[in-house]
Amino acid sequence: MVDNAEQQHFAWLARSFGRTDYLPLTADDLDALADAGSYVQKYPGTHLFKEGTPADAAYVIQEGEAELYRTRSSGARVVVGRVGSGSVIGDIAMFQESPYISSARATTPLTAFRIEQAKLLPILVERPVIAMRWLVAGLNQLEATQRRVIRLLHRTVKEQVAELVLDEADRFGEVHLSQTSLANLLGASRQSVNQALSELRSTGAIETGYRRVRVVDPGQLETIVGR
């Protein structure tokens, strides 16, 4: 007898791997996926995985957010991305059987489903529907990243910063990224990002402080980026 908690878990797993209007997962597929991993919970500041360690698992974030960062030889951390609910991370390194290329650290209380490599690979070989759904989920994330890159290529630094701030703001309008991290995510100089933030602040669209930006007028930012 499957209880409500298990039903919710199976439904969440099904939604997390690609589209749900074709190649439906069977009950046996969902059982196999559920048996391949377990839930982990992380407090802010704790890690799902660290750069350079063996990639023995992939993670599907159910609730919460994490930042992906790399560590320079100087010891400085460079944020390269932020991920939230529904994101699959660590799978590329896991499939390549190489170390994780970045660290994943919780920025909020986080719950994720940890899927072990040793258990997942046989499932993907034996169950082509799961393999296809995993592929579709990965391609969807890649396509979203590509669309974002293309949009940024045709925008001024001010427009790029406005869009990134909108995308990264939490429900309170807070963006917990330093100006250096914003510059790294955009591939722009820190000076140009600082200038763009100053211009947005002068119009009242945002407020800035130490390692944070707060959205004051989202409508103004949306006008700047053409949403």
Q: What is the pLDDT of residue 151?
A: 67
- 155-225: CATH topology is Arc Repressor Mutant, subunit A (1.10.10)
Domain ranges of the chain: 4-150, 155-225
| Dist CA 153 CA 224 (whole Å) | 15
At 171 the three-state DSSP class reads: coil
The residues pairing with 77 across neighbouring beta strands, listed in sequence order, are 71
Q: What is the pLDDT of residue 148?
A: 67
Q: Find out whether 177 and 168 touch, Cβ atoms under 8 Å.
A: yes
In the block, residue with structure tokens 């320079």: 72
Q: What is the pLDDT of residue 51?
A: 94
| Dist CA 79 CA 9 (whole Å) | 31
**E-only strand ranges, the chain:** 37-42, 47-49, 57-63, 66-71, 77-83, 88-89, 103-106, 110-116, 174-175, 206-209, 212-215
**Phi, psi (5° rounding) for residue 203?**
-90, -5
Helix (H) or strand (E) holding 221: helix 218-225
CA angle 124, 130, 131 (to 5 degrees): 50
Helix (H) or strand (E) holding 121: helix 117-126
What CA–CA distances, in Å, run from 216 to 31, 161, 183?
Answer: 46, 15, 21
Q: What is the pLDDT of residue 181?
A: 79
Q: What is the pLDDT of residue 1?
A: 44
User: 45-59 burial by CB neighbour count: b if 16+ within 10 A, else e?
Assistant: eeebbebeeebebbb
Domain 4-150: CATH class, spelled out: mainly beta
pLDDT per residue of the chain (227 residues) written in tens, 0 to 9: 445 555 565 565 555 665 555 567 777 888 888 888 899 999 999 999 999 999 999 998 989 989 888 887 777 777 778 888 888 899 989 998 899 999 999 989 999 999 999 999 999 999 888 888 888 777 777 776 677 666 666 788 898 899 888 888 887 888 877 788 788 777 788 899 899 999 999 999 999 887 778 999 989 998 988 77
Note the pTM of the prediction, 2 decimals: 0.66
At 127 the three-state DSSP class reads: coil
